[in-house]
Every structure is written in structure tokens, then in C-alpha cells.
Chain A
Amino acid sequence: MGFHDAIKTLESPIEAMYLMHKVFMGHSDHTLDLASKVETGGSTINDVKQSLDIWIKHLLYHVQTEDDYMTGPLKEKQLQDGRMVLKENVGEHNDLREMSAHLFEEIGKDARKDLMEDVLAMDDQNHEELMNQLRTVDSVILEALGQKTILRRSLRHLYRSISDFRVVEFDHFENEESFVLPLVHDQMSYAEELECVRKLLIDDDSENPTWILDFVRENLVDSDRKLLDQISAKFQ
């Protein structure tokens, strides 16, 4: 099932994951769209930052809760190509954590510093030699390019990082739906699945426990929202 496809029914509680993934991917697309418009004035860097904050807040909660309440209790399964389903899933969660930390770092980075690091990264064989030369020319590079160009360049690189993050997120969701959800089906009872989904949608430790459920509900089309409501009505 694609993230933009219509979902007709949920055959078991864990399939609410399709709805969550759909909303998260929609939000990722929106953030990328905002990032593409900063240069032309169609959005601001603050819009991107706010949208990215929401994206990463949800994703980090989602992957941590999955580690604790979904993949954690499951028994490992080896795929025909030798990959281990749960180990892969946990690895992907760690990759997403690392990439999100990198994105936060990048969005707050000084554009001039970013440029010089980038220039240095162009050479991996004669790094030392290049570095020595650059010490003398870095101020010339910065001056010749000008602040406006340096900022534009930094925005382009941020866009690329967000785009790469989105690609990894997409792969992860697709892998999870293909390989992990069937394990959940096979190994968890109906009540356990329901509790797992409840944990994913309700943050018991928050002052506003329904912040995830509310966000997912708000961003679903009517027919999908009805499916989510049918599941969440069963939460205790």
C-alpha cells in the first residue's frame, strides 16, 4: 500500500500504523515543500524549522515507542536474504535518530562555516595540503561569493538534507509495513496490538497525552479519520 493510497478498512488494530505513516509522510512532504520555497520568499526559514520540529518530535516518539512496545516484545525472524527483521528495524530507527540530530545541527549552522567545511570536504586525499592553502584564501572565497550567495547555498544544502531524511523515512515506513507488521499480527493478541497502538497514539507521560492522536486525526481525510476513531474508541 502506498502512503497516498486510500485505506478502506483496518483488519486489526496495528494497521492504524498505515494511517500514522500516511500522516507523517504527508507532513514530511509539506516540510520539504516549505524548504523549497525559502529562496523565493514563499516561506521562511522559521516556517521550515517549526515544521521540522513537529516532524522530528513525532518521529522520535514514534520510533522510541516502537522499540519499547512493538519490536521489543517480538521474536526475531530471518528473511530469505539473511536479513534479520527486528535488527534491521532497530538499525533504521537509530539511523533516523542520527539523521534528525544532524538536521537540527545543520539548521542552526553558520552558513559561512558550512561553506568552508564543504570546500574542505571536496578533497579527501590532499586534505592537509588543501587546508593549508584554504587558510589563506577562505576570506577571499567568502568575500567573493558574498553573503547572499552563501545563504542561498546553505538553504540548498538544508533542502538536500531534508530530502535525504524523507527518503530514509519512506524506506523505513515501507520496510516496517512489509516485514514488521506481519510479525506483530502473528505474535501479538488483539489486546496487545491495541495496547501497542494506544502507546503509539497516546503519550501517557505528557501533560497533553493526546498530542499525537490529535495531530494524526487533524491530518487525515474524513474516511481515514473514521477508521482511526473506530480504533481509538476501543482504547481504555
Chain B
Amino acid sequence: MYCSLKIISDALEFSLGNCLNETNRVGVDQSIKSVETQLQNWTAIFMNYSDIESHHVIQEFQDVQINDISMLLEKSKHSVMEALEEIFGFMNVEIKHGVLIPRVKNYLDSKIVDLKIKFLDFNDFVEAFRSCKEEMQCLKNILSDPAIDIRWISTWLLENLPTIQKKRFQNFLDIEFPGRL
């Protein structure tokens, strides 16, 4: 299995795509609450992702201070957090009584698109500047951390990964954590 950041970022990206599909179904077979729950779960996983990311080392580049790269990563992460705050603030003010009129749905979608783009921008920086010293063991180490709720995070990943990665992750869990889920 590869670095945990890769598998989590794939699921984070895919999840926001699903979230956009769900806003189309609000009032049909989904409620706005389910979109909100999905975004809250996304936020929790993103916090894990950013914590894991900060524990990966920054690659060294000639003539560049580590601090500069670190600051760039921080700023980019901060813009993701701001986009999340925007969404929850918007939902609190504009979406009342669970009704999502087309105009408000457009704005919500546009804020989710913005979040997705800011996350992918951040992830590009992470992929370019962070390096994983123990790629083969990374995910196993993360999931073995007693501070992490392995059942919750694994279930979320299985629900939100694209099909191929989901199968690979399921195989990984079956081999590395048999009987734990």
C-alpha cells in the first residue's frame, strides 16, 4: 500500500464530487442534513489529513529555506479552512428549514467547487514538497495509531474512494488488520 496521504486525498477529492451530486438530490431522495453531515465528515478527515501531512518531512531544495515551503503549505491549508468556514457559514444563514431553492443551491455548489479546488491546490503542494520516508508502512502506521478511530476512518475511506482504490484498500485492510473491522 502507498503513502496514507495519497489514499486519503483520493477519497477527499472523490467525496466532494459525491457531495455535489447530493445537492442535486436534495428534496428528491436526500435532505440537506445529509449534505451537511457529509461535509462535517469531510472536515474531520481533512483535519486528519493535514495532521498526517504535517508529520511528513519537507523535501530539501537547493537555495530554498524549509520555512518558505512550510509557509506555502500553511497558507494553502489555511485557504482550505477558510473555504470550509464559508460553506458552513453560508449553510447556517441561507439554508433554513431544509429547503434548497435553485439560486441557493447554485451558491452552495459554487462554494463546494471552490473548496474542492483549494483542497486540490493544497494537495498538489503536499505531493510536490512533502516526502514519505516509509511509503510501504505509512498507512499501516497511521491506522495503528491508538489516537485514530480505525473503524470510523476506514469505513469513511471505503465509502468515499473510487472503485479501484477501494478494492486495493479493502485488500490492504484484510491483510494488515484482519478481524479489526
Contact = CB atoms under 8 A, between A and B. Distances in A.
A130 B74 CA distance: 13
Interface residues of A, number: 29
Interface stretch (B45-53, B62-70, B133-141): B62-70
A128 interface: no
A232 interface: no
B113 A160 contact: yes
A156 B75 CA distance: 19
Contact of B121 (A118, A123, A163): A118
B103 A149 contact: no
A104 B103 CA distance: 25
Nearest to B62: A140
**Dominant secondary structure of chain B at its interface with chain A:** helix
Given A137-B64, A163-B113, A174-B103, A153 B128 contact: no
A149 B125 CA distance: 10
A140 B63 contact: yes
Contact of A122 (B63, B79, B106): B79
A136 B64 CA distance: 7
A145 B120 CA distance: 12
**Dominant secondary structure of chain A at its interface with chain B:** helix
A149 B128 contact: yes
B108 to A, nearest CB: 10
Interface string B101-123: 01100110110011001001100
B71 interface: yes
A167 interface: yes
Contacts, number: 66
B110 A164 contact: yes
A123 B75 contact: yes
Contacts of A119: 72, 75
Nearest to B110: A167
A2 B128 contact: no
Interface string B74-105: 01101100000000000000000000001100
B68 A137 contact: yes
B71 A170 contact: no
B159 interface: no
Contacts of B79: 122
A129 to B, nearest CB: 10
A136 B63 contact: yes
B117 A156 contact: yes
A68 interface: no
Given A149-B124, A167-B107, A160 B75 contact: no
A163 B117 CA distance: 12
A125 to B, nearest CB: 11
A17 interface: no
28 contacts: A119-B75, A122-B72, A134-B68, A137-B61, A137-B64, A140-B61, A141-B72, A141-B128, A144-B61, A145-B128, A149-B127, A152-B124, A153-B120, A153-B121, A156-B120, A156-B121, A157-B117, A159-B117, A163-B110, A164-B110, A166-B106, A167-B107, A170-B102, A170-B103, A170-B106, A171-B103, A171-B106, A174-B103
Closest A-B pairs by Cβ, 8 of them: A122-B75, A144-B128, A167-B106, A140-B61, A137-B64, A156-B117, A140-B64, A145-B128
